[in-house]
Amino acid sequence: MTTTLPRTLEAWVEEQTELLQPDGIVWVDGSRAQLNGLLRAMVDSGQLTQLNPEHRPYSFLARSDPDDVARVESRTFVCSKNEADAGPTNNWREPTELKAEMTELFRGAMRGRTLYVVPFSMGPVGGPLSRIGVQLTDSPYVVASMSIMTRVGDDVLSRIAAGDSWVPALHSVGAPLEPGQQDVAWPSNPTKYIAHFPESREIWSFGSAYGGNAILAKKSFALRIASVMARDEGWLAEHMLLIRVTDPGGRRFHIAAAFPSACGKTNFAMLRSTIPGWTVETLGDDITWIARGDDGRLRAINPEAGFFGVAPGTGPATNPTAVDTIWGNTIFTNVALREDGDVWWEGLTDTAPKGLTDWQGRPWNPAAGPAAHPNARFTVPASQCPSIAPDWDDPAGVPLDAILFGGRRASNVPLVAQARDWQHGVFLGATIASERTAAAEGTVGELRRDPFAMLPFCGYNMADYFGHWLELGESLGAEAPAIFQVNWFRKGSDGSFLWPGFGENGRVLTWIIQRITGEIGAADTPVGLVPTPNTIDHLAAGVSARDWEALFDLDVNSLLDEADDTERFLDGFGERLPAEVRAQLADLRRRLETRLGVEAASLQRAVA
């Protein structure tokens, strides 16, 4: 480290070093040589397994503690000064009290380990939409992952030295080593906290080495803290993918989309359209930051530099682009190891190879469970994705034309519908839901709400978050992007999917773009504007006329019942819920009741 740092950063590192008591300190400079040395040391110590370079060049396998395999929502807190500011969807702790408790946990927590200082930028360093932070950690796995997922190193320190503000992020696995005690591959502590302090813009994480709990640049900074920054500064930090669609005439359109988990987000981000002449390029697969540009339009960036994707279910049939992305330079976590030194997981091939070692390092026994953990991950640079746009990391971002919201719905929600206006679009985003299946915990058919796909990630009261969206839309006026709702998972009476999905979703994208450009009309329904006949070639997608009709069927009585469920959900936000959201629910009910009356009158005429 050669950059002269401001006293505030130096003082913070000195203060935390005194508390944590590490054996040494390493400032991460972002150099390839330093990262190579770190990875080699992890292989030598058994913390990583290097994969066969003939199959997977410069790639590694990490195995976690079996009790440290996913985000721990029950131990994730938003510690605003006032509990009401955290809202009903967040766990809250009083900040002074929790800081005192965690300070004692951090005391001496890094004995026997190295403290790494990781300066990082979300977005290109120095970009107008970028923000920076500094993470302290004792996990070399986290350092290696941060080096893929963010822009790390001395360039960031130079920005801090120049006066840029930064978010302090403190992390420890919380397993100090006593003299002579040997380190383990994945240290973990049964006591876990992931705490966010929105007013002071701080993140404290203790006891976990899993990515979502420990790579603090990702969900903790890029969504929970950034959403608060965005509210205060007039922009948006969203759990959205970002793509560019180019039509046969060369016109470019940029679309952000929010899908809850298990709704095809990564597949859509890497979509290969089946329509000749239309192309889709990836800009981001998980997080999008959106701010108003000088021209009055919203511009969007992917603040990350890599993908932290779920491996199981990813294969040549579901997402060939992702498979091609992870050819090398990848860290795999909790996948299975093949005899030939490559990796495997359920969904990569139809048949499992012989002689697998499972995600816990044991000879795989299919009767004992899957070979790869269901939340097994790959961490890979975004730049080597075959569908990545050449200018995906342009600091200025891209102009946003449309925003999509989607959930996993077997009924009620049509394949695609356009919001009538921004307020209606906010209502669609605020009421995203997926239906539980027989394989999921809970009652079959029960709606699991995930507003804007941000339920676990919004760093403040979600009622205020809805209000922030409404205020931004009002300020944009005619420059606001169009908003749509999509549903790839509608089922027929026999339980089979009505729409083939995957590459055929490009046909829906085409309709969305033609709506943006005003080239085609739409039919008005109680839930929004839907395609008129023959505006989407469903027969070319292998969908019969009967199934196409079923994709847009509206069971009015069922939708009215769902409106009651929506009201109960929205009532949970109390008086802070914006009046505009309640007004949209009232409008939906009015439209449904009108439709019901029309259908009843039509039935009466038919009987007469």
Residues 6+ apart with CB under 8 A from 442: 436, 448
Helix H or strand E encompassing 76: strand 76-78
pLDDT of 33 over the 80 cut: yes
Q: Are residues 81 and 103 in the same domain?
A: yes
Q: Could you tell me if residue 262 is inside a domain?
A: yes
CATH number at 509 reads: 3.90.228.20
Alpha-carbon distance of 38 to 372, in angstroms, equals 26
Alpha-carbon distance of 450 to 454, in angstroms, equals 6
Q: Could you tell me if residue 367 is inside a domain?
A: yes
Q: Are residues 228 and 274 in the same domain?
A: no
Q: Are residues 312 and 262 in the same domain?
A: no
Q: In what order do the strands lie in the sheet with 416-418?
A: 279-284, 241-246, 252-258, 402-406, 482-486, 416-418, 528-531, 522-525
User: Averaged over 316-338, what is the pLDDT?
Assistant: 97
Q: Are residues 446 and 332 in the same domain?
A: no
Residues 6+ apart with CB under 8 A from 376: 310, 311, 312, 332, 333, 334, 335, 345, 359
CATH number at 145 reads: 3.40.449.10
User: Averaged over 267-279, what is the pLDDT?
Assistant: 94
Q: Are residues 211 and 298 in the same domain?
A: no
pLDDT digits (tens, 9 = 90+) for 48-68: 999 999 999 999 999 999 999
DSSP bridge pairs for 346: 349
Give me the pLDDT at residue 441, please.
45
Q: H helices of 60-139, where? A: 83-86, 95-106
pLDDT band at 601 (very low <50, low <70, confident <90, very high): low
The structural domain count of the chain equals: 3
Q: Could you tell me if residue 30 is inside a domain?
A: yes
Domain finish residue from 322, 352, 384: 384
CATH number at 375 reads: 2.170.8.10
pLDDT of 440 over the 60 cut: no
Domain finish residue from 359, 384, 409: 384
DSSP bridge pairs for 529: 418, 524
Q: Are residues 272 and 371 in the same domain?
A: no
Q: Could you tell me if residue 14 is inside a domain?
A: yes
Q: Are residues 337 and 188 in the same domain?
A: no
User: What does residue 42 show for φ and ψ, rounded to 5 degrees?
Assistant: -70, -35
Q: Are 240 and 223 in contact (CB under 8 A)?
A: no
What average pLDDT does the chain have? 94
Q: Could you tell me if residue 354 is inside a domain?
A: yes
Domain that holds residue 340: 306-384
Give me the pLDDT at residue 439, please.
37
Domain finish residue from 215, 234, 253: 234
| Residue bearing the bigger pLDDT, 316 or 185 | 316
Give me the pLDDT at residue 517, please.
97
| Residue bearing the bigger pLDDT, 264 or 201 | 201
Rounded to the nearest 5 degrees, what angle is found at the Cα of 360, between the Cα atoms of 357 and 363? 30
Q: Are residues 282 and 344 in the same domain?
A: no
Q: Are 60 and 183 in contact (CB under 8 A)?
A: no
Q: Are residues 103 and 210 in the same domain?
A: yes
Q: H helices of 304-431, where? A: 320-325, 422-430
Q: Could you tell me if residue 428 is inside a domain?
A: yes
Residues acting as catalytic residues: 263
User: Averaged over 85-97, what is the pLDDT?
Assistant: 98
User: Averaged over 550-557, what is the pLDDT?
Assistant: 96
Q: Are residues 204 and 261 in the same domain?
A: no
User: Averaged over 181-209, what is the pLDDT?
Assistant: 93
Q: Could you tell me if residue 373 is inside a domain?
A: yes
Give me the pLDDT at residue 6, please.
57
Helix H or strand E encompassing 24: strand 24-27
Q: Are residues 125 and 89 in the same domain?
A: yes
pLDDT of 206 over the 70 cut: yes
**Using the 8-state DSSP alphabet, how is residue 173 labeled?**
-
Residue listed under structure tokens 């721990």:
72
Q: Are residues 319 and 293 in the same domain?
A: no
Give me the pLDDT at residue 447, please.
82
pLDDT band at 597 (very low <50, low <70, confident <90, very high): confident
User: Averaged over 193-205, what is the pLDDT?
Assistant: 97
Q: Could you tell me if residue 77 is inside a domain?
A: yes
